[in-house]
Amino acid sequence: MTEKTTTKRYTLPFKMQVVAEYKDGASVRDLRLKYDIGGGSTIREWVNQYANGAYRNKVVRIQKTEEYLELKRMKKRIAKLESALSENVLENRMLKATVEAADKALNTDLKKNYAKT
């Protein structure tokens, strides 16, 4: 025996009411529960269709040219610093491996015997 699926149809005024509540701050989840609306994308589609795509979570960033250039310079500097850090980490690992190899070859503890105190 097959089960019948129910297709819900919503009126335009109902959709507009839900969109208005969404724009006023209600979450999609709360609206789905309040009105027993099926899929999560249904309300988002209504918002896109009836509110000119006015999703609340869109972020518009306005910045001056100087701010943009400063941000670009900072990103470039961060990239250089990250590169220098990774080089130093690799060099440090190489030096530690060299000391360990020398310890084994000389049967001594170079760190203990020659470390600065």
Cα torsion angle, 15, 19, 24, 29, sign: positive
**Residue 23: strand, helix, or coil:** helix
pLDDT of 12 reads 85
pLDDT of 77 reads 98
pLDDT of 86 reads 97
Residue range 36-66, pLDDT digits in tens:
888 778 888 888 888 765 555 556 677 789 9
> Who contacts 4 (Cβ-Cβ below 8 Å, separation ≥6)?
none
Residue 82 Cα distances to 33, 36, 71, angstroms: 47, 51, 16
pLDDT of 8 reads 80
Q: What's the chain's length in residues?
A: 117
* Residue spans of the chain under pLDDT 70: 1-2, 52-60, 115-117
